Every structure is written in C-alpha cells, then in structure tokens.
Amino acid sequence: EVQLVESGGGLVRTGGSLRLSCETSGFSGNTFSDYSIGWFRQAPGKEREAVSCMSNRDGYIEHAEAVKGRFTISNDYAKNTVYLQMSALKPEDTAVYYCAAGRICGGYFEAWGQGTPVTVSS
C-alpha cells in the first residue's frame, strides 16, 4: 500500500515562498516511477481542488490555471519524494495541501497523505 507524508507547510506572508515535500513509500511490487503524484488543496468551506501533478514515468506536468507561473512541481527519484515549490503566494492559496498517488494525472488517486496546512497572511 502506497503511503504519502506531506511536510513543509506553515505561515507565510503574501508574496512569500514555501516548498512542500511529499515523501512516498510502500509501493509493493511497483515503483515510484509507476506513479503520478498530484498535489491538491482544500480551503475552509471550499471543495478540494487539483493544484499540480507530475508523472514520475515520463515527467509530464500539469498545473491549475490559478498557480501557473507561481508553483513548480519536481521529483527526486533517489528519495521517492515530490516537491511543490510555491512562490508569489497569495492569501487565496491558504488551504490544507495534500499529495496523492495515482497511475495518471487526472485519473483516480488511490492513496492520500494526511495534509499540511499553508496559511498566507495579507
């Protein structure tokens, strides 16, 4: 069973930066490269939304329009970890951020982390 652990959230001022990490393990016969890792967020009172996704198989990347040009997703195969570098943060980026593992971006995500909170103060 794939397990994911997020870290790196916190409090930051508008315009600041944070880097979130998603450490993965437990692939049970599969490998890190077999999965795509997506970042999602859920703000208070709002539905969860997709933020960014990266395929570890072929490097395909996609970002939501709201974060294009500000967020970067990358991975480290040696550490089985995916990162979300967030820059030029806005108060509307405040949310709990989750990473999840699935076979393809935009598809079904079979495992989720516990989330890490990000608060952007104005």
**Which tens digits make up the pLDDT trace of 6-28?**
999 999 999 999 999 999 999 88
- Amino acid identity, residue 15? G
The pLDDT tens digits for 31-73 are 999 999 999 999 999 999 999 999 999 999 999 999 999 999 9
Q: How far is CA 27 from the centre of its chain?
A: 18
pLDDT of residue 78: 95
